[in-house]
Chain A
């Protein structure tokens, strides 16, 4: 009696339509374990809905079928080529003038080149700053040594 009431509540229809909450789905699964007859009822509802949907089908355009099947064939083709190394992958896409194809080693080369350029840039800045620092220190030391000389020179010039 309780099971009949549960079925009549429309919970199975709610589950089949995808409207049942997680708790309701969990409860339904538990009830199905307790009462295996519920499985028959679920199947009955699904079959009714299937019959209803098949009553008024609307076929999608043929291009949809082609897209779906093309995907299958593509995946199948790539799967087979992975399994069997004797197959050669040939890209039949039309080549445009904007893109070039290069060997994968170029990627390694470009990564190394990029890292090296960063290192050289860092070293260049570092040594430039070092050079500036040494120049400044040199500049600071120079006037102390030059002052007497300059004064002497100025005196000589003055006497001349």
Chain B
């Protein structure tokens, strides 16, 4: 089992982890940080972190290594992302075609705006509510609707 081998620090398992997931994670990183050098650094950081913290996977609540790595990749990418003032949200859509970009096409304008701010910029519900001058409850509802749409999108496309 790959996880057990990673826990004991098997170098071959580490190479296998990289070869298996680097491509999928990189495609997600360049959607969040569309700068080659930064995206490369993020991938190095993610895998280095993963090799050192592999024992935390079992308590993370995730069932697959991919989801666990994807979560961390987004965290690293958001830290490295451009400042809020430099992004309007629209340019992210034009950079790379990916699953989240395809999904965004299915959202309403409100849902799209909230989802972008939440996923791509990593803003909290409170911050988004303040930014858009809308009650937090409304943002929660909009994001909830976006997540329902995402569930449907995943089920319909990759079931």
Which A residues are closer than 8 A to B by beta carbons?
8-19, 21, 25, 28-29, 32, 39, 42-43, 45-61, 63-65, 67-69, 71-73, 76
Contact = CB atoms under 8 A, between A and B. Distances in A.
Contacts of B36: 61
B97 A56 contact: yes
A17 B27 CA distance: 15
Q: Which 8 A-B pairs have the closest CB atoms?
A: A10-B147, A57-B23, A53-B24, A43-B63, A46-B67, A58-B27, A50-B66, A52-B99
Contacts of A10: 144, 146-151
B120 to A, nearest CB: 11
Contact of B22 (A15, A56, A59, A72): A59
B147 A13 contact: yes
A52 B154 contact: yes
Interface of B: 9, 11, 14-15, 18-19, 22-28, 30, 36, 39-40, 43-44, 47-48, 51, 61-64, 66-67, 70-71, 74-75, 96-99, 118-119, 124-125, 143-144, 146-151, 154-155, 157-159
